Chains A and B, each alone.
Chain A
Amino acid sequence: MEGVVVQFDLGVFSVEAVKKAAYKYINKFSTDFALQGQSIVCSLIFTQNTPQDSIQFYIDDFRKEVLDQDLREKIKKESEPLRNLILAHAFSKTTLVEQ
């Protein structure tokens, strides 16, 4: 079945961010992924009874979700060492962390 094609620049977004965004819409459409040069090409496949205006809404929302996933990656990357430090500190006096 032919899908609606949405592309993302591999220099701007990671494949992981696009895949995570697609997963969120798993109950709305399925997605085929392909790398073509510097592009992540997503083919969104909707069920036949999805109304046309809903399809456009989901495509727009999908694009916004990829942006959000990109932000999440940045937060995670910057705060990861601190998260590990806080958790290690939090449990340092318990027997849950191996000495």
Chain B
Amino acid sequence: MSKFQPVSFYKNKKKTYQLTPFRFLKFNQEKYFLSNMTGEYLLLDRESLGRLVEHRLDDSEQSYLDLRAKQFLIDDTNSIATDLLAIKARTRYSRLPEFTALHIFVVSLRCDHSCQYCQVSRQSADKLKYDMTEEIADKAIDFAFKSPSRNIKIEFQGGESLLNFPIIQYIVERSKKLNEVLCRNLDFVIATNLSMIDRDILDYCRLHGIHISTSLDGPEDLHNKNRPRPGKDSYEKVIKGISLCREVLGRDEVSALMTTTEASLKRGKEIVDEYLKIGFSGIFLRSLSPYGYAIKTKSFAAYQTEQWLDFFKESLDYIIELNRSGIRFQEYCSAIVLSKMLTSSDPGFVDLMSPAGIGISVIVYNYDGSVHPSDESRMLAEMGDNTFKMGNVLTDSYEQVFSSQALLQPLEDSYTNSVPMCEECAFEPYCGADPVYEYAMNQDYIGRRPESGFCQKSMGIFKHLIERMEADPFVKNLFMDWANRK
């Protein structure tokens, strides 16, 4: 007797199958895109899709085998499919019970830059009243450690956070002291434009394991145009700062973020080249958001979503060609999406989560003690709109803040499985809810999907990634690598 079953063993003897939950959308003129509840996908022609749903697909067809392999259907040969789907679903949602891991402390609203697009409504550098005090810091630290999350990341933001370095030191030292008892995985990040970084600050960062995150918008002229400061030397300072950070902290302890302005749109390749030149191994292609000064100075309205998508696609295609030529370089926004498309895990990126990441994944303690469920909602508050303000650490308890309707209502309303069109969208497993964006644009937490810039941008990214990897085996391999790289 053979150790192996004959091919006939794997035939679907009952000739019947059951559909598992899946969604579909028209992908192009030939194909429909199908995805299941765990994010696995298939492309199928419309005729086969119709036959699948009407139970007329034959088990000898390749599409039948593909659908069965990815648990879109269950027959008498893959009864384990239900268990597999459950395991993958559990893995995908495993972050949810962890709750808030990222705690942003806005230590000062003061800043030495006056960026047109600044998402923070900065105050001038001489107003000490816009700095976080020790009293507020103490309360905010207590809130952070009330989170059930095993991982607590404290990120210092501004304004320019280093304008209030003493409070950063105070928060780091008090948190570490508390953590001797509470034993969380505690990390620190300083978000800074690096204009006032020096060796003393970096020695302190090295001693306490603090990571540095900065802004680099591209080549010198573009960076300085986007990020004006007295002396017009923002680029020079950030490049020197990155170099010093690497010297003192190590190469991987400093990262950079770029923001796309109207002036960046035609310069994708140059921006990528700049990141390569400076020695970064990847870039996060980031569009402007409709918050803070970006609205006030109309820089948000300076370009349309379609223009940004063209920029994104051109830059990504260039990065792919760099990799094909042997230069390892990553696009981080794509990597996050690909992780959701090609693995069972969810990286927990705030903008692409449902339930929305606000409050659940990130929380912001403003310099004045007010608590906001995301950096973007804090920016709305700085512009006078307190819709998302959850309370204040000085006057409210942790329980009062996290059960605030300012958090719960947008979370409930924007849950994608309940939002018109999102609930049936085949891209939903990769997408998320962004009630703050929708509120900033439409004054409600959902908006209309056909008119939503968030939806248009997300769908554009998803489609491009799928088109690229379906058409080119090299890209598929590259994307698999990005999806699995931690």
Contacts and interface: CB of A to CB of B under 8 A. Distances in A.
Interface of A: 20, 23-28, 64, 68, 71-72, 74-76, 78-80, 82-83, 85-87, 89-91, 94-96
5 contacts: A79-B19, A79-B22, A90-B93, A91-B90, A96-B96
Contacts of A20: 420, 424
Between B22, B74, B424, the greatest number of chain A beta carbons within 10 A of the residue's beta carbon is seen for B424
A89 B82 contact: yes
Contact of B420 (A23, A64, A71, A96): A23
Interface in B138-192: none
Contact of B86 (A72, A75, A86): A86
Nearest to A76: B21
Interface of B: 18-24, 26, 37, 49-50, 53, 74, 82-83, 85-87, 89-90, 93, 96-97, 420-421, 424, 448-451
Nearest to A95: B97
A72 B24 contact: yes
Contacts of B37: 83, 86-87
B53 A90 contact: no
B415 to A, nearest CB: 14
Contacts of A71: 24, 49-50, 53
Nearest to B23: A72
Contacts, number: 76
Nearest to A84: B21
A82 B449 CA distance: 28
Given A68-B26, A71-B50, A96-B97, A82 B90 contact: no
Contact of A80 (B21, B74, B421): B21
A85 B37 CA distance: 13
A51 to B, nearest CB: 19
Contact of B22 (A75, A85, A89, A95): A75
B86 A89 contact: yes
Contacts of A64: 26
Contacts of B23: 72, 75
Nearest to B424: A72
A20 B425 CA distance: 12
The 5 lowest CB-CB distance pairs between A and B, nearest first, are A83-B21, A89-B86, A90-B89, A27-B450, A90-B90
A29 to B, nearest CB: 11
A24 B421 contact: yes
A82 B79 CA distance: 12
Given A82-B18, A86-B86, A23 B451 contact: no
A35 B485 CA distance: 55
B157 to A, nearest CB: 31
Nearest to A83: B21
Nearest to A79: B21
Given A20-B424, A79-B21, A90 B97 contact: no
B87 A26 contact: no
B83 A89 contact: yes
Contacts of A28: 450
A75 B82 contact: no
Contacts of A76: 21
A41 to B, nearest CB: 22
A86 B89 contact: yes
Nearest to B83: A89
A94 B97 CA distance: 8
Contacts of B451: 26-27
A28 B450 CA distance: 9
Nearest to B49: A71
Contacts of A72: 23-24, 424
A42 to B, nearest CB: 17
A75 B53 contact: yes
B450 A79 contact: no
A87 B89 contact: yes
Nearest to A65: B26
B18 A85 contact: no
A86 B85 contact: yes
B355 to A, nearest CB: 12
A86 B87 CA distance: 9
Contacts of A82: 18, 20-21, 74, 82
A68 B93 contact: no
B31 to A, nearest CB: 13
Contacts of B21: 75-76, 79-80, 82-83, 86
B424 A27 contact: no
A24 B450 contact: yes
Nearest to A85: B82
Contacts of B449: 24
B443 to A, nearest CB: 17
Nearest to A20: B424
Given A20-B424, A24-B421, A80-B21, 16 more contacts: A23-B420, A23-B450, A27-B448, A27-B451, A68-B24, A74-B53, A75-B22, A79-B19, A82-B20, A82-B21, A86-B21, A86-B89, A87-B89, A90-B87, A94-B90, A95-B97
